[in-house]
Amino acid sequence: MKICLFGRGGKVGSVLAPALEAAGHELVELGRAEAIVDFTAPDVVEGNVR
């Protein structure tokens, strides 16, 4: 699956990113994503998706 991961450089994202890739997923930019995972702050999620 092509996944856009917001917060990739943070505490959770830096662990989740390699695990997703090891499971066969591809981390991509928002325009190419089939799914979005956001591990940023709650008040910026809507802006990230837009």
- Residues 3-31 have pLDDT tens digits of 999 999 999 999 999 999 999 999 999 99
Query: Which pair of tokens denotes residue 15?
Result: 């662990």
Task: Kindly indicate the confidence band of residue 49, based on its pLDDT and cuts at 50, 70 and 90.
Answer: confident
Task: Kindly indicate the confidence band of residue 50, based on its pLDDT and cuts at 50, 70 and 90.
Answer: confident
Q: Give the CA count within 13 Å in the CB-facing half-sphere of 43.
A: 0
Q: What is the pTM of this model?
A: 0.83
> pLDDT digit string (tens) for 30-48?
999 999 999 898 999 888 8
| CA separation, residue 2 to residues 7, 13, 20, 42, 45 (Å) | 16, 16, 10, 23, 19
> Is residue 30 within 8 Å of residue 23, measured between CB atoms?
no
